[in-house]
Amino acid sequence: AIAQRERSIRTNGNLVIGSQEMTRSSLKTEFVSFYLDDETYENLHAQRLDNDIYVLDNSPFYTYDVSNRDEVIAKLVNGRLIFQSVSRRGGHSTYRVKLLKGKSHEDFLEKFSELEKLGCTYEGTGGNERRLYAIDLPPKVNVADVYSILESEEEAGNWEFEEAHFFKGYDA
């Protein structure tokens, strides 16, 4: 028998599963582990939608090819939820910024204000001397505009950046 699951639909940032609307806060947060190599993994926050399907609820700092709000398949292995594959894209893209030595969080915030105006959000790592930030680009953000700002600030010597995942669109 083939198992079917009802598609989840998002309305106003909430999930509608079947006929039941759920806010992010009403879903239990779990961790899905993404292996970076044989021994190292990154845990991403996620909420279970159905059986082995989870929706990611933060941006990755080290993992490539997934973004916030992607639906992923994860299997329980030795007590840990292990990423298997992407089930459905959430429409977000992820870029990462690493501050250059001598640059502060305040320097980042000053430069990030341009990205924030475009609709981006970020998560950041703590107090090492080269802070790392995961930049989330929701579906309606113009990626070319964001890329231009990231590139300009890299050329100005404020940070290094990389593309962790670029959402190409549902028709790509």
Q: Where residue 26 falls among pLDDT bands split at 50, 70, 90?
A: low
Identify the pLDDT of residue 64: 98
Q: How many CB atoms lie within 10 A of CB 57?
A: 16
What average pLDDT does the structure give for the chain? 85
Q: Where residue 65 falls among pLDDT bands split at 50, 70, 90?
A: very high
Angle of the 143-155 helix axis to the 105-118 helix axis, nearest 10: 160
* Residue 67 contacts residue 27 (beta carbons within 8 Å): no
Identify the pLDDT of residue 127: 65
Indicate the pTM of the whole model: 0.81
Kindly report, residue by residue over 74-113, the tens digit of the pLDDT. 999 999 999 999 999 999 999 999 999 889 999 999 999 9
